[in-house]
């Protein structure tokens, strides 16, 4: 067994166990419900990540491999048209069968087969590459499990607690500073030498005008001023489609903010916030999260600033270690920016909206084969976010990582870092 195979085998075991651990505190009922068309049941995530390894590794590599259940090829296909038919996304929640126990048995079946494949040691480079891709894919779904779960529990009037957490204690806010960057020619995109998704490549040059970047993310306290200034009622601040969304959905504050009737919460603007540790007083120093691109853009305009481009963001983040408040920090929730100089919170806490449309880099080529559908076909009608969040697995973020969502998406841990032009 080669060293690379040994390392990959350990990572496979650890990654699969981490996904299972996320579902451990949940009941079968928790894992069944689909709270919205854009979210998926936890049970579906557990099955789909297993489907990925079975379909793209075992079925292609292991001679005579027998799928756990032939119908699962369709039920747990997400969007891979080249693989075959798929169950409609908005109907994932009606799949009461297979049961959660059946899905966990499915995971054990695939884990055993893939573990045996890796134990043989003579695994070709192409198969190892597909396994590594599957691990990064599963880490993406670990984050989706937390975000989908939070949206689901946040719809429940009982404000259920997923995990208790002392990590949500209040802290003082760091004063916002403006950091200047001179501009000029910069390089962005993944430079090779380690795993990256195809949408991070190729590395290429961009020209940046001089710009300023906020030293930290926008806080709840700063957003509360925007709310109190009737920012959600001023159409001149909003993109046309954003204003339509405000009126259609009745937005008056970030998702998961609630108005409190408890006088003891008055010092926090009489507001609370739903977290995965239950409902808590709104912490003014923590980064605002669960805001759409429309809201982020309107706030930036109201502030006399703008959102950074993704090239500006990556240029500012280059050379900064991808550490911070990530998914292994306890209960997934943003924390106040730590003291220090230079850019803070570039990784972790909240995904940061940029002004950049999600489009291919110059010279972009999607992965070959079945993986060609992974990213490229979504490069339309989406905006880029950078930096990872408190729900992102540690080791899954880097300066070149490009996340993307539609401009009205709010259920992710998405926040705002302001930028401004220096000319």
The predicted model gives 307-319 an average pLDDT of 97
Which two structure tokens, joined as six digits, stand for 67? 């799928």
Most confident of 71-75, 190-194, 266-270: 71-75
The phi-psi region of residue 39 (left if phi > 0; otherwise alpha if psi is between -120 and 50; otherwise beta) is: beta
Considering the chain, what percentage of its residues have pLDDT values greater than 70? 96
Asked whether residue 97 falls in the same domain as residue 173, the answer is: no
Predicted local confidence at residue 3, as pLDDT: 52
Task: Write out the H or E segment, with its range, that includes residue 290.
Answer: none
Three-class DSSP category at 352 = strand
CA distance 332 to 164: 11
Predicted local confidence at residue 404, as pLDDT: 98
Q: Are 43 and 100 in contact (CB under 8 A)?
A: yes
How many structural domains compose the chain? 2
For residue 256, give its domain range. 166-421
Q: Are 134 and 52 in contact (CB under 8 A)?
A: yes
Asked whether residue 192 falls in the same domain as residue 121, the answer is: no
Asked whether residue 71 falls in the same domain as residue 140, the answer is: yes
Q: Determine, yes or no, domain membership for 159.
A: no
Among the candidates 154, 175, 206, a domain finishes at 154
Give the 3-state secondary structure percentages of the chain, helix then strand then coil, rounded to 5. Answer: 40, 10, 50
The predicted model gives 25-47 an average pLDDT of 97
Cα–Cα nearest to 56, from 27, 42, 76: 76
Asked whether residue 107 falls in the same domain as residue 196, the answer is: no
Cα–Cα nearest to 168, from 283, 57, 316: 283
Asked whether residue 224 falls in the same domain as residue 331, the answer is: yes
- Interval 330-348: pLDDT, tens: 889 999 999 888 999 999 9
The predicted model gives 167-181 an average pLDDT of 83
Cis link prior to 289 (omega < 30° from 0)?
Answer: no
Asked whether residue 118 falls in the same domain as residue 37, the answer is: yes
Asked whether residue 368 falls in the same domain as residue 344, the answer is: yes
Which two structure tokens, joined as six digits, stand for 192? 């090779």
Instruction: Name the pLDDT band for 167 (thresholds 50, 70, 90).
Output: low
In this structure, the number of other CB atoms found within 10 A of the CB of residue 349 comes to: 29
E strands, 131-286, are: 178-181, 184-188, 204-208, 211-214, 257-259, 271-275, 278-281
Q: Are 418 and 303 in contact (CB under 8 A)?
A: yes
Cα–Cα nearest to 375, from 359, 387, 363: 359
Which two structure tokens, joined as six digits, stand for 310? 């993704």
Q: CA torsion sign, 139 to 352 to 318 to 172?
A: negative
The predicted model gives 305-325 an average pLDDT of 96
Among the candidates 154, 176, 204, a domain finishes at 154
Q: Determine, yes or no, domain membership for 266.
A: yes
Average pLDDT, rounded, for the chain: 94
Asked whether residue 123 falls in the same domain as residue 196, the answer is: no
Task: Write out the H or E segment, with its range, that includes residue 216.
Answer: none
What Å distances lie between residue 85 and 91, 113, 170, 185, 402, CA to CA? 14, 25, 49, 46, 28
Compute the chain's Rg from CA coordinates.
22
Considering the chain, what percentage of its residues have pLDDT values greater than 90? 87
Asked whether residue 74 falls in the same domain as residue 207, the answer is: no
Instruction: Name the pLDDT band for 164 (thresholds 50, 70, 90).
Output: confident
- Interval 76-119: pLDDT, tens: 999 999 999 999 999 999 999 999 999 999 999 999 999 999 99
Predicted local confidence at residue 201, as pLDDT: 97
Which two structure tokens, joined as six digits, stand for 317? 């983040």
Asked whether residue 125 falls in the same domain as residue 252, the answer is: no
E strands, 189-331, are: 204-208, 211-214, 257-259, 271-275, 278-281
Predicted local confidence at residue 375, as pLDDT: 94
Predicted local confidence at residue 67, as pLDDT: 95
* ∠ CA 141-82-40, rounded to 5°: 30
Among the candidates 154, 177, 202, a domain finishes at 154
CA distance 45 to 26: 14
**For residues 267 and 52, which has the higher predicted lDDT (pLDDT)?**
52
Q: CA torsion sign, 336 to 339 to 342 to 347?
A: negative
Asked whether residue 149 falls in the same domain as residue 266, the answer is: no
- pLDDT of residue 230 exceeding 50: yes
């Amino acid at each position: 067994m080669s060293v690379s195979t040994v390392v990959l085998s350990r990572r496979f075991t650890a990654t699969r166990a981490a996904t299972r651990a996320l579902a451990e505190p949940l009941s079968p009922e928790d894992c069944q419900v689909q709270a919205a068309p854009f979210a998926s049941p936890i049970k579906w995530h557990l099955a789909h990540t297993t489907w990925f390894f079975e379909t793209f590794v075992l079925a292609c590599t292991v001679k005579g491999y027998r799928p756990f259940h032939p119908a699962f090829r369709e039920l747990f296909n997400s969007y891979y048209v080249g693989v075959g038919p798929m169950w409609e996304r908005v109907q994932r929640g009606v799949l009461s069968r297979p049961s959660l126990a059946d899905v966990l048995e499915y995971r054990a079946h695939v884990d055993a087969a893939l573990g045996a494949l890796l134990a043989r040691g003579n695994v070709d480079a192409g198969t190892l590459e597909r396994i590594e891709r599957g691990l990064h894919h599963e880490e993406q779904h670990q984050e989706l499990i937390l975000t989908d779960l939070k949206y689901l529990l946040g719809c429940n009037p009982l404000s259920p607690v997923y995990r208790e957490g002392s990590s949500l204690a209040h802290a003082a806010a760091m004063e916002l500073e403006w950091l200047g960057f001179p501009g000029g020619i910069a390089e962005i995109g993944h430079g090779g030498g380690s795993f990256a998704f195809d949408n991070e490549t190729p590395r290429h040059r961009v020209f940046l005008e001089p710009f300023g970047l906020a030293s930290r993310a926008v806080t709840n306290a700063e957003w509360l001023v925007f709310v109190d200034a009737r920012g959600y009622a001023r159409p001149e601040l909003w993109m046309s489609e954003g204003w339509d969304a405000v009126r259609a959905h009745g937005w008056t504050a970030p998702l998961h903010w609630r108005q409190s009737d408890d006088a003891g919460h008055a010092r926090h603007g009489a507001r609370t916030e739903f977290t995965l540790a239950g409902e808590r007083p709104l912490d003014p120093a923590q980064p605002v999260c669960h805001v759409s691109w429309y809201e982020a853009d309107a706030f930036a305009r109201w502030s006399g600033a703008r959102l950074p481009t993704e090239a500006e963001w990556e240029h500012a983040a280059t050379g900064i270690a991808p550490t911070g408040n990530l998914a292994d920090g306890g209960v997934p929730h943003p924390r106040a920016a730590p003291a220090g100089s230079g850019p803070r919170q570039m990784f972790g806490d909240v995904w940061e909206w940029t002004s950049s449309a999600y489009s291919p880099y110059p010279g972009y080529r999607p992965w070959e084969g079945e993986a060609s559908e992974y990213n490229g076909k979504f490069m339309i009608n989406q905006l880029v976010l950078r930096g990872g969040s408190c729900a992102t697995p540690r080791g899954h973020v880097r300066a070149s990582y490009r996340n993307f969502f539609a401009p009205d998406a709010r259920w992710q841990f998405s926040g705002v870092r302001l930028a401004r032009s220096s000319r």
